[in-house]
Amino acid sequence: MSEHPVTVPPATPSVARRLTRSSILLWLLAPALLLLSSVRPTFTRSERAAQVPTQLGPFSLQLEREITPNIERLLGTRDVAWREYVDAGGHLIYLTVVFHDSNWKSLHPPHICIRGSGFNISVDENHQVDLGGGRQATIGRLLATLQDNPVRDYISYYAFVGGDFITPSYAGFYLENAIPALFRQATPGFLMRIEAFVDEDGLQAAEARCLDMFRRFLPVGEDLIQHR
C-alpha cells in the first residue's frame, strides 16, 4: 500500500456546471414524476371475451371452460375466452384469449402455461403468416409433447396483439405498452393462443387448421379492442 494519500482532483468548472444543471432538472421533473406515480387509470369493466363468436368459419364451439377464481388471480382478469372448437371432421382446436387494458403486465409468455401443464417444448420459433389482403405478420410457433405421453405432438401458434401491432415477443409487447403506461393510459390488447394435438392426419394438417383459426379470430379480436 502506498504511503502517500490519494487525492481526488476537484471537478472542473464544466463538470460542476453539468452536475448543477442535472440537479435542477431533476428538481423540476420531480413534481411531474410524483403526479404520474399517484395517478391510477380508470378501471373499465369489459366483457369482450363473452363476445367471441361461437362459430368461426368451419369451427364450432364445443366447450367453454370455466374461469375459476384461481385462474382470475393468476391472470388478473376474468375477461378470458378459454374454449374448445371442433371442425366438420371432428378435429379439436383450442382457443385461449386473454384481454387486457391497464392490467397488461399480468400477461406472460405462453411457454409458462404450456410447461406448467406438463409439456416439454421441443421447437420455439417465429413464424411468418399471411393474414390475407396483403397483410403479413410474425407470430410465435411452439411444438411440444406431453411429459407422460411424448409420442403425440402439440402445436401452438400465439401472438400479443395491440391496437397497431402483432408480435410473438414478450419484450416487444412490454415495450409497446410501457410508454402509454407511464402516463397511466389504458392499452387495450390481448394474447391469443391457437393450439391442437396432432391427429392421425399429421402435423401439417394440424398446423393448417390452427392457422385457419388464427386468421379467422384475429380480426374479431382486433375489432373487440378497438370498439370496447
* Model confidence pLDDT, tens digit, residues 152-183: 899 999 999 998 899 999 999 988 888 776 77
Q: Are 52 and 97 in contact (CB under 8 A)?
A: yes
Q: Are 67 and 82 in contact (CB under 8 A)?
A: yes
Locate 104 and state its grid cell: 397488461
115 vs 221: CA distance, rounded Å? 26
State the pLDDT at residue 70: 85
179 vs 105: CA distance, rounded Å? 13
pLDDT average, residue stretch 144-158: 93
- Above 50 in pLDDT, residue 119? yes
116 vs 86: CA distance, rounded Å? 25
Hey, which of 32-41, 96-105, 202-211 has the most confident mean pLDDT? 202-211
Question: Could you tell me what percent of the chain has a pLDDT over 70?
Answer: 78
State the pLDDT at residue 40: 43
- pTM comes to 0.78
- Above 80 in pLDDT, residue 4? no
